[in-house]
Structure 1
Amino acid sequence: MVVAKSTNQNNHDNKLDVYVRWRPLSGSELTEGRINQQSIAVNHASPSLCISVDSQIPGNTRPWRSPPAFKAILGHQNDNADVYETIVAPAIPRILKGSSCSFFAYGHSGSGKTHTIVGYDYEDGSQLGLCLAASQKLFSALESIGSDGTEDEYARLGIGFSLFELRKNTAFDLLNGRKECHVREGADGKTHIRGQTEMLDGGKVRVHPLTQRACWTFDALREELKQSLSMRAVGSSSIHDQSSRTHAVLKLEVINRRLMEAREAVVERESELVPVGKRATDISIEEQMKGLMKSAEGAWVPNPGYQINQQRIDMAEAEKARYEARVASAEEHVKDVLSSDQVGCLGGKMVFVDLAGAEYQAEKGGQASVMKRQTPQERQEGRQINTDLLALKEVIRAWSTRQTRIPFRLSPLTMVLREHFAGTGNGTSTMIVTVSPAKSQYPATLNSLKYGSLVGMTSS
């Protein structure tokens, strides 16, 4: 295993580490040659690595050199197992203490993001994507924790698995038949992904949350992942015809049956509140409207012939308050379950984000990216993808420098990632910049490295 790595071991809150992964040349790229690049260690207060890349633009012999922004650089000889050991393995102990860690794969189309995060071989241990390798390690650790002879099935630890993709402004639940979901900001200031609405008996309205599947073995999770990923959308990019055109967000959370049932109770209490809250609103509006009338001039004025029934309004509001209290009690129970965990790992999360490929249509110096035939819709999606990635950079910039206002509302992508930035706590956030060494992809590779170096410098 050969990994260029900095010696910086300092960690602090709101820090995002940036790594670079060079993929191998494909068979068709061998004849065109490899971009010359080298890693350079820089000695200063917070040691990091620079990358120097030889120019591929005719007439320009000056290499581009990044600022000292990267924590480690993995070469084409490093397989997924090496990437896991370097980047993800150090986070496992934090997850087992209840922390949250997030990992973003950024790069142009065809640079190896999906291979890194998800992998294409679900059996070969050295080729497992980071999410599967992490879940395998977590299951092994959870089995060791649970081998204390306890017979309480409700306390048995497993992994809650959820997976959705973002396409334009809509989320799609890949564990629920790719059902369309809505990204909304709630009254609590948090971003919620709401699924389908179901009408129940008694006027109840259940708004389904994003599906979280409880998995109790690694094999079960791997099978769920394989089936759900088959529904992910692909299309033509500026590099190839089968590019991921969505941002995929995969979350692993340490759960048990007691926690799952407590959360289901919250959804049930919320469904009971909906008709009661609607009735209270309807009664208030009805009484207020009866207390008004139109004057001869057409203006709304108080109706002297009707006295607003405030008692009726108050009774409806009191009933609403009782149901709101039931919701609050259910939410408190969830917190109690989490806080009563003797081991301390319940609720620990790992979030893996396979970002859609960045689009680079033309570069300075007259060199253009390889263009495939794209439909107008695919070109529009490419623009939206770049908008999302620019918004992500701005959020990381504000978050890392501890600004009072972080622009999460810039795009649906940054809205849904809000929880994972805000909830990192003493965990970590990591960006993996995947790049191609092929000379024909030099413009896109250079842009990816520039993006990564800006993020790395901002958060260092």
Structure 2
Amino acid sequence: MSSKPNSMNVYARWRPLPDSDAGHSEISHSVSSTTPESLLSVSVTSSASSPKDSGWKSSPAFTAVLGPGDDNAKAYETIVAPAIPNVLQGGSCSFFAYGHSGSGKTHTIVGYDYEDSKQLGLCLAAAKRLFDALESLNGGLPIEKQLGIGFSLFELRKNTAFDLLNGRAECHIREGYDGRTHIRGETEKLEGGEVRVRPIVKRPCWNFENLRRELIQAMGKRVVGSSSVHDLSSRTHAVLELEIVNQDLVDAREVVVQRQSELVPVGKRADDVLIEEQTKAAIRTTDGSWKPNPDYQVDQERVDKALAEKAVFEARVADAEKGVDSALSSSSSPCLGAKVVFVDLAGAEYHTEKSSKMPMLKQTPKERQEGRQINTDLLALKEVIRAWSTSQARIPFRSSPLTMVLRDHFVRSAEKGSSSMIVTVSPERGQYAATLNSLKYGSLVGAVKA
């Protein structure tokens, strides 16, 4: 089903019951459809509930529901495959995996069996399909115009991003003068006085095996920890971006990084000169205010010279950015620059009320602190989706680092693309409260239509 403009398709995916729980009672669930749009409602009842407990039923909000017997290949064909033709025409799409720890988010997005084509995670299955399509598009093109896939992978922990393609380098999340969010690493001092602020690394790959190998190595650097629910719980949000690129585009972007490196020391020098002259031109009075310094005249020639030099280097950056635009517009392939984004959200941890008959899970202080931050991010994401889906004038992207870095993806998807959320849930009776809360979250997201 194609989504309406600015709406998000929401899918539910039930993981199989673990072997250790085989024979135990499970959460009961059913699916129904009663709307013209064929959206599905999900009903759940805990087998441990009292007879008076009628369970819960969602609003018609889910595009499809995948059962415990549906493998990753089925998930790909249902969720991602319908968006690939649009990507090959230049559109972009994003996929969010939401759920509590141990519900199968990472298995869905990345997968754990990298050899079995039926068990590839959604991101690798999408990359394989795109490479198959690009192979036919590359026929007869010169090497610099041939298409491949560039990918970036970073994780968000609290207010910091870590670049998994650059040794988990710590990166800062900043909003630039252009209103866009930039993720950049620490300042590096180079030979010749140049200073480089390296953006998130984007690794170009020219065949599927190369991308699969690089992705597996990068995913190995992701932080996991033991939680009360899952021994290998993802305690960070992971953002994986696939982009269709060619060598011309890769080279043009590298020129931008180089020109920005040249600008940094020149721009800093100009700012220092301006501040120094302004400081000398004023003196503090006894009451703490400032007044012009009668003994110093601003050296305007020095200031103008520094600002003129800065303007020259700023113009070089602008020219380099035009080179990126030229590389994109000169391609005969409409899909150059198209993106597919996968977000493996950190596990949302919910716990039952004391009055509930279901057992409460004990958390360590560290888990409680992490859980508060994760749930704050997820709440901010829900509010962004709500505002975005209803085309509100103000969308609260600044609410959290997670929503800040996803801003461009929402904007691109609204212009020409689609967004989807996969709510992963568990049939384990001990996870009833967490499963119920995950389905409620998905229901709220899926019920919002433009």
| TM-score normalised over the length of structure 2 | 0.96
Shift of 1:66: 0.5
Q: Deviations over 1:8-36 (max 9, x none)?
A: x4543211100111111111122222222
CA separation in 1, counterparts of 2:154 and 2:287? 56
Q: Is residue 26 of structure 2 the alignment partner of residue 47 of structure 1?
A: no
The residue identity in structure 2 corresponding to 1:271 is S
For 2:11, the equivalent position in structure 1 comes to 19
Alignment partner of 1:127 is 2:116: no
1:331-385 Cα distance to aligned partner (Å, 9 max, x none): 111111111111111101000011111101223642455636x542222111111
Q: In the TM superposition, what is the alpha-carbon distance from 1:59 to its structure 2 partner?
A: 4.6
Alignment partner for residue 436 of structure 1, among 402, 426, 445?
426
- Which SS does the other structure have where 1:171 is aligned? strand
SS of structure 2 residue aligned to 1:366: coil
Pick one of 324, 338, 348 that aligns with 2:328.
338
Moved more, 27-36 or 300-309: 300-309
The aligned amino acid for 1:198 is E
Residue 387 of structure 2 is matched in structure 1 by 398
Please state how far the C-alpha of 1:141 moved relative to its aligned partner. Answer: 0.5
In the alignment, does 2:350 pair up with 1:382? no
Contact kept in structure 2, 1:17 and 1:459, CA below 8 Å: no
Structure 2 Cα separation of the partners of residues 426 and 359 of structure 1: 34
SS in 1 for 2:417: coil
Deviations 1:260-283 (A, max 9, x none): 110111111111111111121112
> Which residue does 2:64 correspond to in 1?
72
Give the secondary structure class of the aligned counterpart of 1:98.
coil
**Cα distance change of structure 1 residues 91 and 302 upon mapping to structure 2, 3 Å threshold:** same
Hey, what's the Cα distance between the residues in 2 that align with 1:167 and 1:286?
38
Q: 1:440 to 1:290 in 2, by over 3 A?
A: closer
> How many residues in Structure 1 have an aligned counterpart in Structure 2?
448
Q: Show the counterpart of 1:6.
A: none
1:70 Cα deviation from its structure 2 partner: 0.5
Aligned counterpart for 1:414 among listed residues 403, 412, 416: 403
Match of 1:199 among 174, 189, 192: 189
> Where does residue 233 of structure 1 map in the other structure?
223
Equivalent residue number for residue 289 of structure 1: 279
Superposed, 1:81-100 pairs within 5 Å as: 81-100=73-92
Task: Flag the 1:352–1:291 CA change in 2: closer, same or farther, 3 A.
Answer: same
Instruction: Work out whether residues 358 and 430 of structure 2, in 8 Å CA contact, stay in contact via their aligned partners in 1.
Output: no
Q: Which 5+ residue runs of structure 2 have no aligned equivalent? A: none
Q: 2:286 matched to 1:329?
A: no
The CA deviation at 1:162 is 1.0
Contact 2:353 2:360 in 1 (8 A): no
For residue 168 of structure 2, the aligned residue among 165, 178, 191 is 178
Q: What residue identity is the alignment partner of 1:421?
A: F
In the other structure, the counterpart of 1:3 is: none
User: Structure 2: which amino acid aligns with 1:216?
Assistant: W
The answer on 1:209 being equivalent to 2:199 is yes
Distance 1:87 1:30 in 2: 28
The farther-off stretch of 122-131 and 355-364 is 355-364
Q: Is the 8 A contact 2:4 2:449 kept in 1?
A: no
Q: Which runs of 4+ in 1 moved over 3 A?
A: 293-300, 367-370
- The answer to whether the 8 A contact 2:354-2:360 is kept is no
1:298 shift after superposition: 6.6
CA 1:192/1:303 → structure 2, altered by over 3 Å: closer, same or farther?
same
1:115 equivalent in structure 2: 107
In structure 2, the CA distance between the partners of 1:415 and 1:173, relative to structure 1 (3 Å rule), is same
Describe the shift of the 1:50–1:282 C-alpha distance in structure 2 as closer, same or farther (beyond 3 A): same
Query: Are 1:105 and 2:100 counterparts?
Result: no
The one of 409, 412, 417 equivalent to 1:427 is: 417
**What is the one-letter code of the residue matched to 1:395?**
V
Distance 1:306 1:346 in 2: 57
* Contact 1:204/1:272 (8 A) holds in 2: yes
Q: Are 1:317 and 2:307 matched, yes or no?
A: yes
1:5 equivalent in structure 2: none
Task: Describe the shift of the 1:217–1:441 C-alpha distance in structure 2 as closer, same or farther (beyond 3 A).
Answer: same
Q: How does 1:1-12 map to 2 (within 5 A)?
A: 9=1, 11-12=3-4
Query: Kindly tell me: are residues 294 and 175 of structure 1, through their superposed partners in 2, closer, same or farther at Cα, counting changes over 3 Å?
Result: closer
When structure 1 is superposed on structure 2, of 125-134 and 91-100 the one drifting more is 91-100
Corresponding letter in the other structure for 2:383: E
Q: Which moved more, 1:267-276 or 1:361-370?
A: 361-370
Q: Contact 2:151 / 2:204 at 8 angstroms: preserved in 1?
A: yes
1:266-304 CA distance string (max 9 Å, x none) = 111111111111121112122222323355777533222
Amino acid at match of 1:415: M
